[in-house]
Amino acid sequence: MIIGIPRALLYYQYYPMWKTFFEELGAEVVVSSPTTQATLSSGASRVVADTCLPVKIFLGHVISIVERCDYIFIPAIRSVKRKAYNCSKFLGLPDMTKAVIPESPPILDIEIDINKGKRHLYQAIYKLGRHFIGNPVKVRQASLAAWQAHLKYQQLMSSQGLTPPQAIAKLSGEVELEAPTSIQATIALIGHPYILYDEHISHRLIHRLEEAHNKVLTPEMLTTEELESATTRLVGNAHWTYEDEVVGAGGHYLETRVDGVIGLMTFGCGPDSQMMDMVHRWATKLGATTFMSLTLDEHTTEGGIVTRLEAFLDMINRRKRRQIEVCA
């Protein structure tokens, strides 16, 4: 049995976990190829115009693998933390995919809601495992193995400072990239992993920064505790599940005074429209770190991004030079 996993949205957070789970149960996993313009166009053609960019890309990825798999795995993740919910689009994702891509193979749809208690979670996992194997013990073993894989993945990113794609490459035994030698400045990127690491959406922003001899920090390089405590300081209790990546990381990096922080969000993102604003206000209040927020959509051009990036880096360099002059 072949399970298709689209390389979009929650792939970057949970891929090693999902892969382990399905392979333990004897299934084969197919991942769609990295995003291209064709992925975006095919996804965008199916939905109404004001659907957000990451969802359009997600649907494009689904379309690209419909013929190569028996099932497509699209979880509906309602919450992974108490009293914090996920954006509507994640909740409606399985139903929306079914509605707009009628030719898709059956969708494996599992509802994760921590607010409903552990029992609900275990039942959901068992329900998913039953598609492959009737034995609950085997499903339990597979889910424990998957959880271990997830912990290892997270630990790899936070302890060694790897980005999700690098960590996934390392877990599957591929060689990783060398760290840059001379460092001009340390720049933190904040935003959801499906924006930061999708090179089509972000226009290779990480590579561009590294080519200009900057050290790039991302939210995944922080531990969960660091993220959560910064979130609490900025906005109190988090309202949405995946907002630590924005406010938590933003707050932490602004407070630890890296040289610059770039916030990446897509146009039409509900939670980010409020959260990025909170980070912006915090940056203005602290006033020590250069902050820039970039709103991306399908019309964003490479030239525009490069220009803003150059201006941003120039500003940081000038600021640094001035500090040195003052010291001397």
Partner 1 sequence: MRVSMSHMGNIYVTIKAWAHKLGRSDNLIIPPANSQRTLSLGVKYSPEGLCLPFKLTLGNLIEACELGADTLVTVGGDGICRLGYYVKTQEQILHDLGYNFEIIQLSLSQQRVFGLLKLMRRLSNNASWFKVISALRFGIAKQIAMDKIERLVQKVRAVELVKGTANRLYAKAIEAIDNADDYNTLKKAQRDHIDQLNHVAKDTQAKPPIVGIIGEFYVVLEPFANLNIESELGKLGVEVRRRTFISTWAKFSFFFNYLGLDETTRIHKAALPYLKRDVGGDGWESVGEKVLHAKEYDGLIHLAPFTCMPEVVAQNIMLSTKENIPVLTILCDEQMNRTGILTRLEAFADLLKSRRQARNNTQHKGS
The residue among 83 and 207 lying less far from partner 1, judged by its C-beta, is 83
Report the distance separating Cα 310 and Cα 210, nearest Å.
13
Contact window for partner 1 (CB under 8 A) among 24-32, 42-50, 254-262, 303-311: 42-50
Out of 256, 278, 298, 305, the residue judged to bind partner 1 by CB under 8 A = 278
Residue 287 in contact with partner 1, rule: CB under 8 A:
no
Residue ranges in 234-263 that form contacts with partner 1 under rule CB under 8 A:
235-236, 239-240
What three-state secondary structure class fits 18?
Answer: helix
What three-state secondary structure class fits 189?
Answer: strand
Residue 294 in contact with partner 1, rule: CB under 8 A:
no
Residue 267 in contact with partner 1, rule: CB under 8 A:
yes
The residue among 20 and 266 lying less far from partner 1, judged by its C-beta, is 266
Residue ranges in 48-87 that form contacts with partner 1 under rule CB under 8 A:
48, 50-52, 76, 78, 83, 85-87
Provide the b/e sequence for 256-289 (b: ≥16 CB within 10 Å): eebbbbbbbbbebbebbeebbebbbebbeeeeeb
Binding mask 85-124 for partner 1 (x = CB under 8 A): xxxxx-xx-xxx--xx-x------x-x-------------
Question: How far does Cα 39 stand from its chain's mean position?
Answer: 18
The residue among 101 and 216 lying less far from partner 1, judged by its C-beta, is 101
Find out whether 154 and 143 touch, Cβ atoms under 8 Å: no
Residues in the interface with partner 1 (CB under 8 A) total 41
Find out whether 84 and 238 touch, Cβ atoms under 8 Å: yes
Q: Which two tokens stand for residue 237?
A: 């209790």
Query: Running DSSP on this structure, what letter comes out for residue 239?
Result: S
Residue 295's CB: how many other CB atoms inside 10 A? 15
Residues that bind partner 1 (CB under 8 A): 47-48, 50-52, 76, 78, 83, 85-89, 91-92, 94-96, 99-100, 102, 109, 111, 235-236, 239-240, 265, 267-274, 276-278, 281, 295
